[in-house]
Structure 1
Amino acid sequence: MSIPGFSPFPPIPKRSTPEADFDAKMYALFQHFAVTHRNELLAFIEFLESNVTAIEGAINGVSVGLTHPEAAKFTTLAADSIGGAAVQASDGDVAGDAKLVRMDGALAAALSRGGQYQGASAAYNIDDAAPGDAGLVSVSNPGTWPSGNSGTFAWLTTQRIYSGETVLQRATFGYQSTGTPATPVTFERIRSSDGSAWSPWSKVYSQASILGTVSESGGTPTGAVIERGSNANGEYVRFADGTQICVSPDWSEDVTTAAGALYRNASPITWTFPASFYSSNGLTGHVGVTGNSETHWGVMRTLSGGTDAQITMFGHSPFTNRTVRAMAIGRWF
């Protein structure tokens, strides 16, 4: 059934002489509204009742459509009940704009889009980002950015996680316009429910960021979790909590100088640690024998300052070319 049309209104008459002529025209005008437009309006109402179903059977409290539509009328939104190029064919069909999106494809559609772009002159304050905002944002924009970040752009997402103004915000660095992208580095923070304050940015550690240079500020770790290194003085490992372990190279010495009933090396070996300790307080060490010899042993004396130690080797008989290795454990901050 096609939508009924409405005939044009007749011209509104103007008073003329004689009066009977005006009365006749006014009667014809009222007859048009009372009969013709009434029938046209009734036909339009019949069309609505036969072809339209209003939500809850009413709009603004006025019943317009059928409360109980006839059989075979479109009453339930089903994934396969409508189609066409403007409708998402599957959860992976995200090409093009202005598509009617399936519920199972809403996330895929959202993640396929580039989102917002906030360049260096956008004046987009990240502290005021609205829940649902996501896109590439220049660090030249105002707001509190994470310290220690790398790059000039971050993929920034702001997600509501509870009522009020509570949101989780993530900034991932690593965008690159050409060539191989840098290893992504992600930071996150949370805003209070009343919107008055943000938590400090916290780095999200991954396989790519566990190893690196450790650092701290006021006792709070600000760098990698584990740092390893080596030089001519041996190897070291530093942990984010402040623990440091140093291992020396091997030393070979003659244990031939009499020391009472024992023998020792002629003078202690000075070991400069491969990485300095915070201080000698709490610094402990161990000297181990290498190889399969059990004829000698060693002791370590830590020196003030946390940079050096002295190793003395002992034996119950004089021996030449005895080898030991030392280890020291303490704190780097």
Structure 2
Amino acid sequence: MAVAPARGVPAGAPRRRGSALPYVLVAPAVLLFLGFVVAPAGYALVLSVQSRKVSGGLLGTGTTMVFSGLANYQAVLGDVELWRSALRMLLVAAIAIPGTVGLALLFALMLDVPRTRLARFSRLAIFVPYAVPGVIATLMWGFLYLPATSPIGGDSIDFFSPVGVFGSVANIAVWGAAGFNMIVIFTALRALPPEIYEAARLDGCSELQMALRIKVPLVRPAVVMCSLFSALAALQLFNEPNTLRPLSNAISSTWVPLMKIYNDAFVDADLPRAAATSVVFTVIALGVSFVAARLIQRRVAG
């Protein structure tokens, strides 16, 4: 019994097989992801359930890795200094996240006003700090904070005091990230239908009223997404305090969690404990991402 050809396909025409081109194009990205994300993550998981055992008697001539189960995770969860570093990270985040998103929203709203002068130059000037490498930006701000070289405070303001150092670190993070978030929010503003603004102007709305009552509610998903980016960046806080550490006695080698992980791995040579800490904070980061993503979906759906 002959099978009828599919509709739209001439009888006797050869069937086209799936092209391999998409797989070829995606393969480099998949290989890089497997080599630089999946493989290190798997190795960290294996390393986190091991411990180093000294062999060779009193001389301690060698070390071997032995299975230790969840001992490293118990030590991590019970490490008081680690949770103190997490608290310091949260204090910086409490300053940096509202500052970054708030300034980004303010800049985007100001640049979206039709009568704004030098709008292109202003957008570029606000975005440029994002392109500056974090270490270079931190060194620049570090010399601005030092009393001997600072033109903004001198001896009257101690930027590296035990309390002031939180604002100093957060300021660097805000300065570097506000431009990127501004572009995200500004793009969302430009995507809004211009008819909304025309109708609002016909009703007598001022630019301030349109910004507060129309623009801000409509770009709320973009603002929430920028908040998510800023929260994830706060979990990865490392460059700023680590670079400022030689300039301030208020910043210890374990000031934030990533500095604690670095200190455990490369100063104390305790790689299993550092791996366990990394796994714990990866789970926390994934949890923050999941919760924030659900919040974004609800905002968009609402």
What is the TM-score normalised by the length of structure 2?
A: 0.19
User: Which structure has the higher relative contact order (CA within 8 Å, separation 6+)?
Assistant: 2
Q: Which has the higher helix share?
A: 2
Rg larger in 1 or in 2? 1
